[in-house]
């Protein structure tokens, strides 16, 4: 069975998940997930009516956004395996949200679990460095 820990996460390590760079990449991935949703909801016009620049833009969005969605989903699933939040009931609920919600569940998990956790750890780290 394919598990997120067998992907690039093993190479990056657990410490990477709480860095500012990781948080920024997951934030961009969340944003791109929502952008692709809007683009698909609005609909892509026919190629004949688009300019070359618009065609290229839609092509880039169509290529980059799915990769960002996969990165976000696997990253949040991997972060979930680290045991955060520690409450067993909350972990079960978030597991269901991540599995059934896929990339949208990952956006929710990023916003409500990952980001507050990383901010809290960053704040603790900064306070410890200031002391």
User: Which CA distances in Å does 60 have to 54, 56, 84?
Assistant: 10, 6, 34
pLDDT digits over 68-124, tens only? 999 999 889 988 887 666 788 888 999 999 999 989 999 999 999 999 888 887 766
Residue 1 has a pLDDT of 43
Residue pair 76/98 in contact (Cβ under 8 Å)? The answer is: yes
Band the pLDDT of 62: cuts 50, 70, 90. Answer: confident
Indicate whether 11 pLDDT > 50: yes
Residue pair 104/115 in contact (Cβ under 8 Å)? The answer is: no
Alpha-carbon distance 80 to 20, whole Å?
18
First-residue to last-residue Cα distance in the chain:
46
């Amino acid at each position: 069975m394919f598990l997120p820990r067998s992907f690039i996460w093993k190479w990056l390590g657990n410490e990477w998940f709480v860095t500012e760079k990781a948080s920024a990449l997951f934030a961009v991935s969340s944003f791109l997930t929502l952008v692709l949703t809007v683009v698909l909801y609005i609909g892509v016009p026919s190629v004949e009516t688009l300019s070359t620049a618009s065609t290229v833009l839609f092509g880039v969005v169509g290529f980059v956004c799915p990769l960002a969605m996969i990165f976000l989903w696997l990253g949040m699933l991997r972060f979930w395996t680290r045991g955060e939040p520690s409450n067993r009931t909350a972990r079960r609920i978030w597991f269901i949200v991540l599995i059934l919600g896929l990339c949208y569940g990952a956006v929710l998990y990023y916003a409500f679990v990952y980001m507050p956790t990383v901010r809290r750890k960053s704040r603790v780290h900064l306070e410890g460095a200031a002391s």
